[in-house]
Chain A
Amino acid sequence: MSDRLKIALLLAPALSIIGILFFGGLLIGFMRSFNYMPVIGLTDPDLSAYAAVFTSKEFYLSFLLTFHIAFTSTVLSSILAIGAALLLRRTFIGRSLINFLFQLNLTVPHLVGAIGMLYLFSQSGSFARLGAEWNLISKPSDFPAMVFDPYAIGIILQYIWKEVPFIGVIILANMQSLGEDYESVARSLGANKWQAFIHVLMPLIFPGVLSASIIVFAFTFGAYEIPAILGASYPKALPVLAYQKYTDVDLAARPEAMAMAIVIALLSALMIYFYVRYTRRRIRS
């Protein structure tokens, strides 16, 4: 058997499943977003769904909110993860506990984290109760809105909770395989601690931080259950809005939902582009 045939046979099952389910799903969504579905008699593609979506204020607000959630969560998580990795690099009391909790946290589904955040930060949650205990507030509504709020603070907090360990574990492994000698060289050449961090460690770990951040950005942009638990009713995060449109009693709203799904897919395609570009560059260097 030739190698080509062998490779094709080895790959065939996986590629067909991914091709049919994933790319098929994308393609059907794409077609339906243009109102094109010959099997059910829709043979004239049009742009009405996109016209409806792109003229709706709700969509823009929703897109901005989702972008804000994804961007803020990713940036804050990356920064905190770098800090956490720097901390965990040294031996100190409690390091192995933090390491364990980082790993534990990786296995806890986002949904559980979201419910935990709800119980911590809602206006009758644990922190509001602490506030009452210390006489900072007298009734629940005195507590600042951190869940169901327009700035999506609760959502971002939950993402930070989950993603700092995710990015942190990747950066830490990165740092450990680099060792400290590059920084030692920099120090001995006259760089102070800060200069060694900025000019040497950061550029060395940057590709790892970036690829982890891209995964986080795409996830936080497209996740449904977290904003569904912690988000405000208006505007909704884009995935929540898309789901709502799709399950609307009015079936005519479905193409609009598909159009939003395509917007999310396009944004993640952009993320994949960055991801591949940077991982390739890493391989080359």
Chain B
Amino acid sequence: MTHVSIKELTKIYPGSAEPALDQLSLEIPTGELTALLGPSGCGKTTTMKMIAGLLAQTSGDVLFDDRSVLNDRPEHRGVVMVFQNYLLFPYMSVADNVGFGLKMRKVPKPEIDRRVAEILELVKLPDLGSRRPSELSGGQQQRVALARALIVQPNVLLLDEPLSNLDAHLRFEMRDLIRGLQQEMGITTIFVTHDQEEAVVLADKVALILDGRLKQYENADVFYKRPIDEATARFFGGQNFVSGKSNGLVFESALGKLALPEGAISGSGKLTFRPENIRINATKTDENTLKAVVNERIFLGTQTRLRLVVGDEKLDAIANPNEVENISTGDSVNISLPASSLWVLPK
């Protein structure tokens, strides 16, 4: 039960001119699950190690419940970090791995055994205590690493790319396990990932870090609907950007005049909308309708991607294959861009 505040946290590695992390500030409320999202090498793991006390910051502060923990040794911070490659101690059994933190705290052996059995039950590995880590699958190793962290009942749990080493079918299982345990135990949890899907699937809130700086810190869906700039939109798979001018109500561009949702900014900027929000085969009653020519049609299995041309503008659309079955390259179609799916980015 800890509120984590990060204040202008900066890390410059010796011999490097560019900061690995540049004045990051974040407030992570008690019990929330927050994702630090960014491309590889953007300073995510550096941030985690500084929160855990495993790396010294160049400047800035880390506070738990408004108390600076910079002078606390890592073993006294109540923060446990789970590394991406799990790092189970190879010479110990699974049970000894899980009980490690308790042993370091000199908890009596019978109690360690009891709690290890309990937590292995919780991560659904009740019978594997005597195995060696090398005998486990990747998913099982991940759960052992999680159990090893949770058994010490940390105030803050840090997870480094928790789903990235897992197969697709294991990801959802692990996601449910992590979310379930995290909610049940109410541990403030921060995880880092380079995968926007992983961030959205797992986190309450997402902090996007690009080039060592915090770009946007919001609920996951905001990144799709209301990205702060083009780089953020692109990171989340945004494809369509049209230059033009907004008066706050209407956006004027090569696409003509399009009605905007409430809260859109004024001035010259870029209009963005997600490929999946373009409605194909629009009727007259739909808002913001346009005529487009299908330039290319790519079947992707569960969806179909259309490359559209409106005047000189190229647009990307994603549609349900059934809905666009009768459309072929060169056809002219009516499309609609619902006002609620539009957003204006500053130039």
Contact = CB atoms under 8 A, between A and B. Distances in A.
Interface in B86-140: 87, 89-92, 100-101, 103-105, 132, 134
Given A189-B152, A190-B104, A195-B104, A204 B91 contact: yes
A187 interface: yes
A189 B104 contact: yes
A145 interface: no
22 contacts: A181-B85, A182-B87, A182-B89, A184-B81, A185-B81, A186-B104, A187-B53, A187-B73, A188-B54, A188-B74, A188-B75, A188-B79, A188-B80, A189-B100, A189-B101, A189-B148, A189-B152, A190-B101, A192-B73, A192-B104, A203-B89, A285-B134
A203 B91 contact: yes
A185 B90 CA distance: 13
Contacts of A181: 83, 85, 87
Nearest to B48: A188
A214 interface: no
B: contact size bracket: 20 to 34
Main secondary structure of the interface of A (DSSP, over half): helix
Interface of B: 14, 49, 52-54, 73-75, 77, 79-81, 83, 85, 87, 89-92, 100-101, 103-105, 132, 134, 148-149, 152, 158
A111 interface: no
B52 A188 contact: yes
Contacts of B53: 187-188
A230 B14 CA distance: 47
Contacts of A200: 89
A253 interface: no
Contacts of B85: 181
Interface in A180-217: 181-182, 184-192, 195, 199-200, 203-204
A281 to B, nearest CB: 10
Contacts of B73: 187, 192
Contacts of A91: 14
Contact of A185 (B79, B87, B134): B87
B105 A190 contact: yes
Contact of B104 (A182, A184, A199): A199
Contacts of B92: 203
A107 B152 CA distance: 49
Contacts of A195: 104
Interface residues of A, number: 18
A184 B49 contact: yes
Interface in A51-103: 91
B100 A186 contact: yes
Most chain A CB atoms below 10 A, which of B83, B104, B158? B104
Among A187, A188, A199, A285, find the residue whose CB has the most chain B CB atoms closer than 10 A: A188
Contacts of B149: 189
A91 B92 CA distance: 31
A187 B132 CA distance: 22
A190 B100 CA distance: 9
Contacts of B105: 190
B190 to A, nearest CB: 13
Given A181-B83, A184-B81, A191 B104 contact: yes
Given A189-B104, A195-B104, A199-B104, A184 B89 contact: no
A285 B89 contact: no
Given A195-B104, A199-B100, A190 B91 contact: no
Nearest to B90: A285
A190 B107 CA distance: 12
Contacts of B75: 187-192
